[in-house]
Structure 1
Amino acid sequence: MNIDHLVFIHGWGCDGRIWQPLRAALEERLAENGLELPLTVLELPGFGDRFGERWPDGETLLNSLAERIPHDSLVVGHSLGGMLAVRLAARTDRVAGVITLAANARFTADPDWPGMATTTFADFCNAFAAVPRQTWQRFCGLQVQGDHKARALLKNLRALAPESSAFETTVAETTSSAATAGPWSAALGCLGRLDNRELLKELDKPQRHFLGANDALVPVEAAQSLSGLGVAAEVIDGAGHVLPLSQPQFLAAAIGDFILQARRGEDSSGSTEPFAKTAVARSFGRAATSYDAAAHLQRAVCRQLLSALPEQTEPRRILDLGSGTGYGSELLRQRFPSAEIVALDLAEGMLSFARHSRPAANAYIAADAEQLPLADNSFDLVFSSMALQWCYRLPALFAGLQRILTPDGRLLVSTLGPGTLWELRQAWARVDDGVHVNRFLPALQWSDAAQEAGLCGGLRTEERVLHYSTAMELMRDLKRIGAHNVNSGAGKGLTGRDRLRRLSQAYEPLRATAGLPASYEIFYLELHSSAGSVKTQDAGTEAGVLEVGQ
């Protein structure tokens, strides 16, 4: 697959201006990798620059949009725009891949599909026909509802209000007949009719789908239903419906990696390894004595991961995979005092520290998670927190994990995604073209590999942000936990005094009130064997979870 062009399609009640923050973040992300792709923002009839145009019938609309899409395009659509993007991907070879944001396969609910209640949708359509401006303002509130940035987002959305004449035209035209309804009302009708479920089942083009955990318009349960179609949807914690405005940096990282992988010809196996495992083992082995003093986020994530395990779980044998200094083993011992716990880590230095400082495990093994020297069906629980991001052969990794799990076994994993430390990566890109920040795999590769191995369950995405007084403080923390740059392309002598000074200058514009931000994109996977007796909802079907497998 080759991607030479980007196309954005907005949703109902918005126009092309909604893409401005994401567009800027994505251009910067691509520039870090020496790419500059042309971008087309398609506005729908009656919206934005196409004010005054009527909304056509479905075939005419899709044909007109398809004609404006350059060959080898990645089409990114929000809400209604995402639903149209799926239709276009199924319709024309000009679309090389598709990414949807807050887009359901079917917007309105039916007995077999979660969505907005049909009566609620009908009431909204009638209210818009009667009092369009007031209804649009209410719609802005619904778009930001549940988002942790709701207040600021509402202000931003209302600043994108259309001209008053747009609403006046809607009132004038919707007072007649459906055939002459204003474009905004006609677009609502289109939204209510679209049903992409069969198309998504058959769509064989690269795709990613993002939903907000707290979306008031597209229920998060749609992620599980999409899974039933064989489509993985990634759920973003703390986000509502207006993802382009709420999550520009996160989405820029995800879209940028999608493009880069396509242009490099990489498949979903993630088989390309940017560093040697020996370098990882050496780095973490050296950091064993300093790790705990700096690993505040790692400990918090470890506790969060363990809290996902149902209370009634009573594993007899537990593998703490990537056990590090033994913090996870200690938590597991407190919760399961009678269990046999095996600590396995790539770094012998970490295992040695754990044996002497946190002797909570029954056995300690130095080994690679991708080549587990363990018997089949030997563990009821595999627990791995903030370790498997150093694995890049994900199909082999999950095949091994499936092999060692008992039929009723569970697998809990927390790991890092490609949005991790984007601020540091961006600052370094302004200094030189070296590889200074470790690269991690996107959520879709994790969920696909788990499903291929026969594992089912959920994947949640979370963003945590730490703050530092200086860039050097962040760099020191990364070194203390062994997570500094181990990429084979990093080169030598790239962090001399002059470069570090320039790095500090490049990072400074990102400073917030709390300090310089360092973002971590965290994936939580709660999985079990498809042959086991564990129910899917026990693996986590609460808000913020996408289903993996069937």
Structure 2
Amino acid sequence: MNIALIHGWGSDARCWQPLLQALEDVGGQVINIDLPGFGARAAEPWPETGDLLAQLDAQLPDDCLLLGWSLGGMLAARLAATSGKVRALVSIAANGSFVNRDDWPGMDADVFAEFCRAQCEMPEKNLSRFAGLQARGDGQMRGLLKTLKSSQPASIPQSWCTALACLGELDNRALLQQLPVPALHILGSKDALVPAAAAKKMHAPGAQVTVMGDCGHCPHLSQPEAVARLIRSFVSSLDAATAPLEKSSVARAFGRAAQSYDAAAHLQRAVCRGLLGRAAENGAPKRILDLGSGTGYGSELLRKRFPEAEIIALDIAPQMLGYAREQRPVADGYVAADAEQLPLADGCIDLVFSSFALQWCYQLPQLFAEIRRVLAPAGNALISTLLPGTLQELETSWRTVDDAVHVNRFLPEGDWRSACVGNQLEVRAAVEQRVLHFNDVRTLMRELKSIGAHNVNHGAGKGLLSRAKLRKLTEAYERQRTDAGLPATYQVLYLELARRRAVSELDAAASG
């Protein structure tokens, strides 16, 4: 994937060098764009917005990750909405509206107007003031201020005033809610120009919003390594091909297994009990989300542990919810939805509980952006999922039969940790290996189908299993038999998550 970058007002393409060094292992072709009137294009006038976007679009490489900072981020959002060349967007310190509009947090309109007037009358003095505003509140303020002032041009073109007017006119509020490509919005918790409170407004389907602590308007300059980690995590979630299955196939598989699930889910119940045992002894959540609630076994345990709590059971398979309603009617509400697009309000959940459900999610940054969004400021999450090495004996045996995909793919622990950290979630993780034993291969495969966990991958073999293939599979699996029977290993990951204190304090301040 190629990378294109658009700098902010008062800067030029050089501002990206620290981040590009940190991202040297990401992407292919890099196009570092100077805006008209800035950097190498200082002599050029600032064009009308439509003409400018057409110029920028012509410079973008195909299939690009488009990065934009401040004004560049707002222009990048416009391009992401209209250009077929943009695969994904990363905006840094870019608001939906730079000036305050209605209830959208931004710079006061009168303050911005005064800034524009000062720029036209005293450009050098105003630019020095602007450098101070960009560095304000940053943990690396002194070094950052020195960097910003050292990059200021010897003379400032009049076109910068026109560029400022463009910054004040751009209004991307509605656009950010319906971008056609995935987006990552990075804001600084102490930014003096783009209020961190805007983060709440920028959440949208397919978008991740991260507020970085201890930095102001220039996180790519003061914390390039941290920004690079966020971008790497985001990039790892982009390729739709990394999701080896369709969510609709998962929903159908578990829907068909609703009636048979409980009779076969011995491991699932044991892990669910173990996960609940990790809940804080003195915790008393008011509202709990049972995420991937299935037949309601977890909801039933949660009801016994927290009898006064409101429990919302959410699952991708409506048939599972129907079974839970009839057989374990302990939840207060039942919602059919995808975990990566939660139809819940911000900050409404005190405890997210999810046992053996999220291994079907492959867009982890988006998943944890949603979990963090719905968590209350002091909220927590308890999650169990599966790691690579799960059903390794079955996978190894199938390789002797054919080249098709027969075992669902599980993401490594590092991907889970990175997605949590990238979404400002504190992580405690533990890995446990559990081994089940079966009398024969048919029994194992029948149990997997009974719990809906059989193969639903794009590359799965279709049609009935022939006798010849079954015989070959059985012979290969038998070579792994132990005294206890045919082993089936499960690598279980437990995650205990909490919103980081800096972010929760910021949210509280913003809402107050």
- Normalising by the smaller structure, the TM-score range is 0.5 to 0.7
Q: Which residue of 2 is the match for residue 18 of structure 1?
A: 15
Q: Using the alignment, how far apart are the partners of 2:125 and 2:60 within structure 1?
A: 34
Q: 1:238 to 1:446 in 2, by over 3 A?
A: same
- Give the superposition deviation at 1:68: 0.6
Preserved contact between residue 223 and residue 545 of structure 1 (Cα < 8 Å): no
Preserved contact between residue 73 and residue 94 of structure 1 (Cα < 8 Å): yes
Q: 1:321 to 1:372 in 2, by over 3 A?
A: farther
Q: Which amino acid aligns with 1:24?
A: Q
Q: Using the alignment, how far apart are the partners of 1:267 and 1:545 within structure 2?
A: 36
Q: Using the alignment, how far apart are the partners of 1:382 and 1:236 within structure 2?
A: 32
1:110-155 per-residue CA deviation (whole Å, 9 max, x = no partner) reads: 2232110010001111111222122111111111212222222212
Preserved contact between residue 458 and residue 546 of structure 1 (Cα < 8 Å): no
Preserved contact between residue 381 and residue 405 of structure 1 (Cα < 8 Å): no
Q: SS of the counterpart of 1:217?
A: coil
Q: 1:270 to 1:129 in 2, by over 3 A?
A: farther
- Give the superposition deviation at 1:22: 0.9
Preserved contact between residue 105 and residue 198 of structure 2 (Cα < 8 Å): yes
Q: Which residue of 2 is the match for residue 329 of structure 1?
A: 280
Q: Which of the residues 424, 430, 448 maps onto 1:523?
A: 424
Q: Equivalences for 1:98-497 in 2 at 5 Å?
A: 98-162=89-153, 164-165=154-155, 167=156, 170=157, 182-227=158-203, 232-263=208-239, 265-266=241-242, 322=275, 329-330=280-281, 332=283, 373-375=297-299, 378=303, 379=306, 406=332, 410-412=349-351, 442-448=364-370, 488=389
Q: Using the alignment, how far apart are the partners of 2:207 and 2:61 within structure 1?
A: 26
Q: Percent identity?
A: 33
Preserved contact between residue 321 and residue 369 of structure 1 (Cα < 8 Å): no
- Give the superposition deviation at 1:448: 3.6
Preserved contact between residue 197 and residue 229 of structure 1 (Cα < 8 Å): no
Q: Using the alignment, how far apart are the partners of 1:254 and 1:268 within structure 2?
A: 23
Q: Which of the residues 499, 506, 509 maps onto 1:543?
A: 506
- Give the superposition deviation at 1:542: 4.9
Q: SS of the counterpart of 1:234?
A: strand
Higher relative contact order (CA 8 A, sep 6+): 1
Q: Which residue of 1 is the match for residue 39 of structure 2?
A: 48
Q: Which of the residues 19, 24, 28 maps onto 1:27?
A: 24
Q: 1:53 to 1:104 in 2, by over 3 A?
A: same
Q: 1:459 to 1:254 in 2, by over 3 A?
A: farther
Q: Using the alignment, how far apart are the partners of 1:129 and 1:66 within structure 2?
A: 29
Q: Using the alignment, how far apart are the partners of 2:244 and 2:330 within structure 1?
A: 23
RMSD: 4.9
Q: SS of the counterpart of 2:216?
A: coil
Preserved contact between residue 237 and residue 544 of structure 1 (Cα < 8 Å): no
- Give the superposition deviation at 1:87: 0.8
Q: 1:487 to 1:113 in 2, by over 3 A?
A: same
- Give the superposition deviation at 1:17: 1.2
Structure 2: which 5+ residue stretches go unaligned?
Answer: 248-266, 334-343, 355-361, 380-386, 393-419, 427-502
Q: Bigger radius of gyration, 1 or 2?
A: 2
Q: 1:13 to 1:253 in 2, by over 3 A?
A: same
Q: Which amino acid aligns with 1:222?
A: A
Preserved contact between residue 323 and residue 329 of structure 1 (Cα < 8 Å): no
- Give the superposition deviation at 1:50: 1.0
Q: 1:488 to 1:235 in 2, by over 3 A?
A: same
Q: Using the alignment, how far apart are the partners of 2:201 and 2:125 within structure 1?
A: 33
Q: 1:23 to 1:413 in 2, by over 3 A?
A: farther
Preserved contact between residue 372 and residue 425 of structure 2 (Cα < 8 Å): no
Q: Which amino acid aligns with 1:37?
A: G
Q: Using the alignment, how far apart are the partners of 1:65 and 1:9 within structure 2?
A: 9
1:343-379 per-residue CA deviation (whole Å, 9 max, x = no partner) reads: x9xxxxxxxxxxxxxxxxxxxxxxx999873336824
Q: Which amino acid aligns with 2:424?
A: F
Q: Which residue of 1 is the match for residue 492 of structure 2?
A: none
Q: 1:214 to 1:42 in 2, by over 3 A?
A: same
Q: 1:487 to 1:191 in 2, by over 3 A?
A: same
Q: 1:369 to 1:70 in 2, by over 3 A?
A: same
Q: SS of the counterpart of 1:262?
A: coil
Normalised by the size of structure 1, how large is the TM-score? 0.53
- Give the superposition deviation at 1:411: 2.5
Q: SS of the counterpart of 1:543?
A: helix
Aligned pair count reads 352
Q: Using the alignment, how far apart are the partners of 2:104 and 2:68 within structure 1?
A: 21
Q: Which amino acid aligns with 1:250?
A: A
Q: 1:267 to 1:85 in 2, by over 3 A?
A: farther
